[in-house]
Amino acid sequence: MRLGVFDSGIGGEAVAAALRITFPQAIIHTLNDRQHVPYGNRSPDEVRTLTENAIEPFLAGAYDVIILACNTATALALEYLRTTYPDQKFIGIEPMIKTAATLTKSDVIAVCATPATLASRRYAALVRRHGAHLSILEPDCSEWAYLIENNQINQSHIKAIVDDMCDKGADVIVLGCTHYHWIKELIEQLANGRATVIEPSEAIGRRVSQLLGA
């Protein structure tokens, strides 16, 4: 099994690490586009072009599945890639609205994602399908990917956002950008039992198994 994992920056490494545990015999390679990171403040056309260019080695390399370990690339480029390369299997990452809807007791959840993901049609469709009955907070996390990518975590800034989400009743926090996986433990610590923090690493492995019958 050959899996290619792409992210605009370092977030994909966290996804690849989880996949290596699930599929220890697989060949798993990663690509990133740190020259253009972050993607979250770019236009849809830019994201599609940058994603297609960045994954060219995977497209030419006979990979069983290419995983877009980037919520922004999934939201803005996945449909285009599936149409353009119909013989290639792709898996994307999306904010876990459906899972959050099953976990919440307060019917208030928070989605931490990039501006491009939150503004995308794909995200809007997820909310309509699984979260129409919920109150969904969408805090401004637009700086987080840059700060994480450049190892400049501002804990007091993140604490203020986490406290605000919890104070407003959110009992599930959805990490909708793979960069944020790197600070999941910090967010859990700051939430201090007030909210469950979820991200899709395990779900990606299940999807690979479904797609390949692995």
Q: pLDDT tens track of the chain, all 214 residues? A: 999 999 988 778 888 988 999 999 999 999 999 898 888 889 999 999 999 999 999 999 899 999 999 989 998 999 999 999 999 999 999 999 999 999 999 999 999 998 988 999 999 999 999 999 999 999 999 888 888 888 888 889 999 999 999 999 999 999 998 888 889 999 999 999 999 999 988 788 888 998 887 6
Phi and psi at residue 136, to the nearest 5°: -115, 115
| C-alpha span between 40 and 115 (Å, rounded) | 6
pLDDT of residue 214: 61
Q: What is the pLDDT of residue 21?
A: 92
Instruction: Please check whether the domain covering 2-93+201-212 is classified as CATH 3.40.50.1860.
Output: yes
Where in the chain are the domains? 2-93+201-212, 97-198
Is 112 considered catalytic here? no
d(CA 189, CA 195): 10
Give domain 97-198's CATH architecture: 3-Layer(aba) Sandwich (3.40)
Task: Report the distance separating Cα 114 and Cα 135, nearest Å.
Answer: 19
Active-site hit among 70, 112, 141, 166: 70
Fold agreement (2-93+201-212, 97-198): yes
Quote the Cα angle for 66-83-128, to 5°: 85
Catalytic residue at 70?
yes
* Residue tagged active-site, from 112, 141, 166, 177: 177
